[in-house]
Chain A
Amino acid sequence: MSDEPRASYRALARLDAWLNRVYTSRHNPLYHSGAIAAALLVVLIATGIYLLLFYRIGAPHASVSRIGAQPWTGRWIRSLHRFASDAVIVATAVHAFRMYAQRRTWGPRALAWVSGVFLLGAFLACGWTGYVLVWDAHAQLLAIQGARFLDVLPIFGEPIGRSFVGERPVPSAFFFVNLFAHIALPIGLGVLLWVHVARVARAVLLPARGVLWGSLAALTLLAVLWPAPLLPAADLLRTGDRVPLDWFFGFWLPVAQRLPAWSAWALGPLVVGLCVAVPWLTRPKRARLPAPATVNERACTGCEQCVRDCPYEAIEMVPRADGRAGLVARVKIELCTSCGICIGSCPPMAIGPLGVTARDQIAEVRAFVADRKPGSRDVVIVGCAWSAARAEAERCGAAYLGVPCVGAMHSSTVELLLRGGAGGVLVVGCAEHDGRTREGVTWTAARLFGGRKAELKARVDRNRVRLVQASLGEGVALHEAVRAFADQIGALAARQGDGEPEVDLVALCRARRIADAEPTGEVA
C-alpha cells in the first residue's frame, strides 16, 4: 500500500477544509455527522409522537391529510418528521464515509462499523414503514415493491402482493402492522446505538450547540417554507404515474423495479455482506499494523490517569505481579486503537505504543533542539498531522515539530523545547469533534493549563505556551494566532533585553500569501 493519501481521504480533507472555512471547525457539520444523526433521532421521536396522536389506521391518507390541514402545527411537524429522517440518512452516510476515508473501521472499531451498518438498515426499514403509513402514491410504490420482494420467498400461503391488486381495499391490519413496526423499530435502533458506542468512553451523542440548533432551525424553516408534499391517495389500479420520490429512502426503487424480484435477495445480501466486511477489507497488513500501547510496569505508579483519559476504555488496572503493593495499568489489546492519548497522561512516561512513547518523544525533541537551535524570539509550532500547523509553519518559516496527535504529546516535550531555547511553543491541534483520536485537544488543554496529569510543570512560564485548534482550511485563523503569539514572544524577549530576532516571523508571515492548507497525511 502506498503512503500517498487515498482518493477518499483527499476528497474528505478538501471537503472538511472547505466547510471549515464556512462554518469553522467547531461548527463544521461534517465533524458532527454521527452526533447529528443521533440527535435527530430524538427529533423524530418527538414529532412522531405528535403525528401518532392524529393518525388513524382506518383512514390513513385522510388522517394524514387532516394533519396537513392543521393551520399552525401539523403541516410543518409532519414535514419536519420527514426532513429530519432524510437528514439522518445524509448524516449517517457522511459519518460512514468519514470513518471509511480515515480508515477508522477495523480492529476495535469493527463493532461500531458493523453495528452502524445494521443501524442504517434498521433505519431504512423504519422509514419504509413510515412512508407506507401515509398511503399515497409514493407509499403505493414502496408497498408494491416490498410485496414483490417478499413474494419471492416461498413462505407465504397467499402472495402478499394480492393485498395490493385493487380487488378490495387494503386491510387495516396492514397499516396496524406497519404502525407497530414503525414504533417498534426505533427501540431496536436504541439497542443498536448502544452497541454502536459501547467501545467508546464518554460517547458524544449531541453535536455542538451551534450545530444542533442550526440544524434544527434549518430543517424547521425548510418544513415551514417548503413543506413535504402529500400526494393523492394510493390508487391500486393506476401504475406508472410520475411521483415525487424521496430519494433518501427510495434510492433503490429505480433499480429494483427494473430487475427481477429474486435479484433483491441476491444483491441485497451481497451489498450488506460487503458493507459488513469493510473492517476486514480495510485492515492493514500485519506489517503495517500500528503497535498497541504497552505498559512499562516497573515505571507505572498505578495513578490510574491513563484509565481516565483513554477514549476507548482500553486500559484497566490489575494487581501488580512484581511483588509490589497496589495496581498497575494493563492495556486491553483488543480495544486499543493505538491513538497514543495515554502517552500524554502518564507522568512517569510508562505507557504508550512502542516507537512513539514519551521517551521516544523526548529523544526526538532533544535531536530537534540540537539541530534547529531555536532562539528566544523563535516560536516552535508543535502540531498534529491533521491540523493546519505544518502548512502554516512552512509558510512562515517557523520551526515545526510534528506529533501524531497533540493528545499524544507529553507535556515534558513543551518544557524541553523551552529549556532548549525556544521563545515560545504553539501547540496546534485539529478540531476536537473530528475525533480521529478523540479528546486529544481537551486533555492537552487540561494538561498544559489545568493541572491534569501529566501536567506541565509549574516552573514553565505559561506566557510562552499557547494551544490553538486549527483544522485543515483554517490557515487564516491559525495565521492570526501565530502572528499574535509571535508578537507576544517578541515583546517578552524585548522585555528581557534580547536583541532583534534573526528572522522576523511576523513580517515574514505578512509578506507571504495566505494559501489554503492541504491535507498532510492520513491515519495509519
Chain B
Amino acid sequence: MTVPRIAVLALVTTLGASALGWLSRAPYDPPGGATGVLRLSWRLRGEKEEHCRKRTPAELEALPIHMRTPEVCEGRLVAYRLAVRIDDEPAAETLVAPAGARGDRPIYVLREVPLPPGPHRVRVRFARATSAHADRHTALELDTRIEAEPGAIELITIDPETGRLVHRAGAHAPASPDREH
C-alpha cells in the first residue's frame, strides 16, 4: 500500500469518525426555549357524589340475611373544571375527570401552558364541574404573580400539608434523585 493511499485511507477514516462524533453531540434547540412554561400538576382524591335510597321490604327479603342493609348508595367521583387565567386572559379551561376506566381513581392534573417571559398575574381555579350545589364546595384557587424566564418552568401544585395550590419556582424543587451531592 502506497503512502498517499494510506494518507487517503487515514483521512477518510478520520472524517468518518469525526462525523460520527459530531452527530453524537450536534446541538439541538428544543421547542419553547424562548418562552417559559406554567406547569400545573397535582393529584387529588376527588369528592364523591352519592345518591342513597331506602331498600323496599321486598328487596330486603330477596337478599341474604347478612346483606340486608336498609340503605343502598350509588356514587361516583365528580369531575373538576380547571381554569387558568394569565393576566386576566383565559389561558386554559378544561374538564378533568377522575382516572380509571370506571372513573374511580384519583384526579391527576398535568398540563402545561406557555408563559412569555416577564411578570404575570396567574390565577388558577380548580372546582367541581357538575353539581347543582357546586357553590357549596370549596374550590382550589391560586392568585399569584410570577416572573417568568425563558426556559424556566413555574410549577403550580398542591401543597401536601395545607392542601392549597402553591407556586413553586424552579430553584425550590428537587429534580434529580442524586443523593450523594
- A residues sitting closer than 8 Å to B (CB atoms) are 19, 22-23, 56, 58-62, 82-83, 86-87, 90, 135, 141, 151, 154, 157-159, 161-162, 165-172, 175, 214, 218-219, 221-222, 226, 228-229, 233-248, 250, 253-254, 257-258
Contacts and interface: CB of A to CB of B under 8 A. Distances in A.
A241 B30 contact: yes
A219 B31 contact: no
Contacts of B163: none
B173 A248 contact: no
Contacts of A167: 41-42, 155, 157, 168, 173
Contacts of B151: 238-241
A247 B174 CA distance: 29
A59 B178 contact: yes
Interface string B150-181: 11110101000000000011110111111111
B172 to A, nearest CB: 8
Interface of B: 5, 8-9, 12-14, 16-18, 20-21, 23-35, 37, 39, 41-43, 99-101, 105-106, 108, 110, 150-153, 155, 157, 168-171, 173-181
B155 A170 contact: no
B168, B170, B176: most-surrounded residue (chain A CB, <10 A): B176
B33 A83 contact: no
B24 A235 contact: no
A324 to B, nearest CB: 56
A29 to B, nearest CB: 8
Given A169-B177, A234-B176, A23 B9 contact: yes
A245 B108 contact: no
Contacts of A90: 20
B110 A162 contact: yes
Contacts of B168: 166-167, 237
Given A226-B21, A242-B30, A254-B28, 14 more contacts: A58-B178, A87-B20, A90-B20, A141-B30, A151-B110, A157-B105, A175-B177, A233-B176, A237-B152, A238-B151, A239-B33, A244-B28, A245-B27, A258-B31
Contact of A166 (B8, B39, B105): B39
25 contacts: A22-B5, A22-B9, A58-B178, A58-B179, A60-B177, A62-B178, A165-B110, A166-B153, A166-B173, A166-B174, A166-B175, A167-B157, A169-B176, A219-B17, A228-B24, A234-B175, A234-B176, A237-B173, A238-B153, A239-B37, A239-B153, A240-B32, A243-B27, A244-B26, A257-B31
B159 to A, nearest CB: 10
B152 A238 contact: yes
B26 A245 contact: yes
A78 B141 CA distance: 48
A235 B178 CA distance: 12
Contacts of A229: 25
Contacts of A169: 174-177
Nearest to B170: A237
A237 B12 CA distance: 43
B27, B100, B178: most-surrounded residue (chain A CB, <10 A): B178
Contact of B24 (A158, A218, A248): A248
B38 to A, nearest CB: 11
B25 A246 contact: yes
Contact of A159 (B12, B25, B108, B153): B108
A56 B179 CA distance: 11
A244 B23 CA distance: 9
Nearest to A24: B1
A410 B21 CA distance: 48
A245 B28 CA distance: 6
B30 A257 contact: yes
Contact of A240 (B12, B26, B150): B150
A254 B177 CA distance: 27
Contact of A165 (B39, B105, B150, B180): B39
Given A218-B13, A237-B153, A242 B177 contact: no
Contacts of A175: 177
Nearest to B40: A165
10 smallest CB-CB distances across A and B, nearest first, come from A240-B33, A237-B170, A245-B28, A244-B25, A236-B175, A165-B41, A240-B32, A166-B173, A240-B151, A59-B180
A235 B175 contact: yes
B29 to A, nearest CB: 5
B171 to A, nearest CB: 8
Given A172-B177, A222-B20, A237 B28 contact: no
A30 B18 CA distance: 18
Contact of B153 (A214, A236, A254): A236
B139 to A, nearest CB: 21
Contacts of B171: 237
Contact of A237 (B5, B26, B175, B177): B175
Contacts of A245: 25-28
Contact of A242 (B16, B33, B101, B173): B33
A333 to B, nearest CB: 42
